[in-house]
């Protein structure tokens, strides 16, 4: 290790510790401060998940707004009829477009695609943090909906 | 009067670029820590319990190191911190791209909201290179050289004979 690097390392550590101290203090003072230890993920209640039949009834009665949690490219390639796109991975960027159509009590059906997909759960977490309470998750939503021959909007259409 | 060496002017520009970029990026993240925590979470590299802590500390370390670089205090050490951070960010972005994650970078807060890609790697590599250059060069040109020279320029030269102009009394 060269002499200049050896001489600079203690100072570099001081800078890092100074940043850590400032961060902890700033977080305490800031009204937007976060808990230092991330709270455990909210386990989704069983009733948060709905069956395809229930989702179908909500859709035909127009009793719920369907939100597609997938990426815009996936949504554009085809989605549940009348569903809106609110990508879970860029929630903050897109929420402003959807928010005017919602109230805190609006029944919402969230879906993504594939049994392993957790985008609708992530979207639900984001919405819960903003006090939206009437959330329903349709597991493996896109595939299940399509395979059941229910109304979809094909790619290229809004 | 001796003008500042050209190398020191280059150091000044490097300090502005590197320090300014880090202070700017850090302040954007500090302004919305919950959003940055979400970005950190999306990379799926940090244990769940640690996400908030990382989201709180990284931006402040960025701002601190960037401020030290801008102020020219412990310049080499601060440039080393920034070099290490950019190397870490590079590895994190490469890892996300390799796993096919289609997520927001979170590099400059919510600005652009663009998904990670080669552009982020290019920006990160450029900052890495500039910070490493600054760390290397600062030995030959201590930060205070520029200020000393600037101070020398401030002292007014003796007025030319016969010059009767109010400015000489300022």
pLDDT at position B81 over 90: yes
Residues A54 and A24 in one domain: no
| Chain A residues whose C-beta sits inside 8 Å of any chain B C-beta | 4-5, 8-12, 14-16, 18-20, 22-24, 26-27, 30, 32-38, 40-41, 71, 89-93, 126, 129
Average pLDDT over chain A, rounded to whole? 86
The encoded tokens of residue B99 equal 């796993």
Residue B37 · residue B46 · CB < 8 Å: no
**B154 phi and psi angles, rounded to 5 deg:** -65, -35
Residue B65 lies in a domain: yes
In Å, how far is A67's CA from the nearest CA of chain B? 19
Residue B99: what pLDDT? 81
Residues A106 and A122 in one domain: yes
Residue B24: what pLDDT? 95
C-alpha span between B36 and A62 (Å, rounded)? 36
Residue A158: what pLDDT? 53
Q: What is the mean pLDDT of residues B19-41?
A: 90
Residue B18: what pLDDT? 94
Q: What is the mean pLDDT of residues B92-98?
A: 91
Residues A63 and A137 in one domain: yes
Residue B161: what pLDDT? 43
Residue B165: what pLDDT? 37
The CATH number covering residue A85 comes to 3.40.250.10
Residues A21 and A98 in one domain: no
Give me the residue from B35, B50, B55 closest to A92, CB to CB: B35
Q: What is the mean pLDDT of residues A135-152?
A: 90
Residues A51 and A9 in one domain: no
Q: Which of A93, A60, A37, A67 is nearest to B106 (CA)?
A: A93
Q: What is the mean pLDDT of residues A129-153?
A: 88
Give me the residue from B55, B81, B104 closest to A12, CB to CB: B81
A15 and B59 within 8 Å at the Cβ level: the answer is: no
Residue A38: what pLDDT? 82
Residue A133: what pLDDT? 85
Give the rounded percent of residues in chain B with a pLDDT score beyond 90: 43
Give me the residue from B33, B60, B81 closest to A22, CB to CB: B60
Three-state DSSP at B44 gives: coil
Q: How many CB atoms lie within 10 A of CB B36?
A: 24
pLDDT at position B140 over 60: no
Residue B97 lies in a domain: yes
Residue B165 lies in a domain: no
In this prediction the pTM is: 0.63
Taking only the tens place, the pLDDT of each residue in A78-114 is 899 999 999 988 888 888 888 888 888 889 999 998 7
State the distance between the two ends of chain B, measured CA to CA, in whole angstroms.
20
pLDDT at position B144 over 70: no
Residue B161 lies in a domain: no
A90 and B59 within 8 Å at the Cβ level: the answer is: no
Q: State the residue range of the domain holding A144.
A: 46-154
Residues A53 and A34 in one domain: no
Any A CB within 8 A of B139 CB: yes
Any A CB within 8 A of B28 CB: no
Taking only the tens place, the pLDDT of each residue in A31-80 is 888 889 887 766 555 448 899 999 999 999 999 999 999 888 889 888 99
Residue B15 lies in a domain: yes
A15 and B65 within 8 Å at the Cβ level: the answer is: yes
State the complex-level ipTM. Answer: 0.78
Residue B136: what pLDDT? 85
Give the ranges where chain B is alpha helix by DSSP (H): 6-31, 33-43, 51-71, 75-98, 118-137, 144-154
Confidence of residue A130 (pLDDT cuts 50, 70, 90): confident
Rg (CA), chain B: 21
pLDDT at position B147 over 50: no
Residue A80 · residue A145 · CB < 8 Å: yes
pLDDT at position A117 over 70: yes
Region of A62 (left: φ > 0; alpha: ψ -120 to 50; beta: rest) is left
> Between A and B, how many CB-CB pairs are < 8 A?
111
Q: Is B55 exposed, middle or buried (0-12, 13-18, 19+ CB in 10 A)?
A: buried
Any A CB within 8 A of B67 CB: no
B113 and A15 within 8 Å at the Cβ level: the answer is: no
Instruction: Find the helix or strand (DSSP H, E) in which A74 lies.
Output: helix A72-76
Residue B108 lies in a domain: yes
Q: State the residue range of the domain holding B37.
A: 6-147
The encoded tokens of residue B18 equal 């590197």
């Amino acid at each position: 290790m060269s002499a200049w690097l050896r001489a600079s390392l203690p100072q570099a550590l001081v800078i890092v510790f100074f940043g850590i101290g400032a961060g902890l203090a700033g977080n305490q003072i800031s009204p937007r401060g976060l808990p230092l230890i991330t709270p455990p993920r909210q386990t989704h209640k069983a009733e948060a998940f709905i069956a395809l039949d229930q989702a179908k009834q909500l859709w035909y009665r127009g009793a719920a707004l369907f939100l597609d949690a997938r990426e815009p490219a996936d949504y554009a390639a085809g989605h549940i009829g009348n569903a809106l796109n609110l990508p879970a991975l860029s929630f903050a960027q897109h929420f402003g477009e959807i928010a005017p159509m919602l109230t805190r009590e609006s029944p919402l059906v969230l879906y993504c695609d594939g049994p392993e997909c957790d985008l609708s759960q992530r979207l639900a977490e984001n919405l819960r943090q903003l006090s939206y309470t009437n959330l329903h998750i349709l597991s493996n939503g896109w595939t299940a909906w399509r395979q059941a021959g229910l109304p979809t909007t094909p790619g290229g259409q809004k | 009067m001796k003008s500042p060496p050209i190398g020191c002017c280059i150091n000044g520009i490097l300090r502005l670029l590197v320090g300014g970029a880090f202070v700017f990026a850090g302040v954007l993240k500090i302004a919305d820590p919950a959003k940055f925590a979400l970005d950190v979470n999306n990379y799926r590299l940090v244990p769940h319990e640690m996400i908030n802590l990382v989201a709180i500390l990284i931006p402040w370390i960025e701002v601190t190191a960037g401020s030290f670089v801008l102020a020219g205090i412990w310049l080499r050490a601060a440039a080393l911190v920034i070099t290490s951070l950019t190397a870490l960010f590079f590895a994190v972005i490469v890892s996300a791209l390799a796993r096919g994650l289609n997520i927001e970078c979170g590099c400059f807060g919510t600005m652009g909201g663009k998904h990670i890609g080669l552009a982020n790697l290019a920006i990160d590599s450029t900052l890495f290179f500039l910070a490493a250059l600054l760390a290397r060069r600062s030995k030959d040109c201590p930060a205070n050289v520029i200020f000393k020279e600037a101070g020398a320029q401030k002292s007014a030269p003796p007025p030319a004979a016969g010059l009767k102009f109010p400015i000489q009394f300022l």
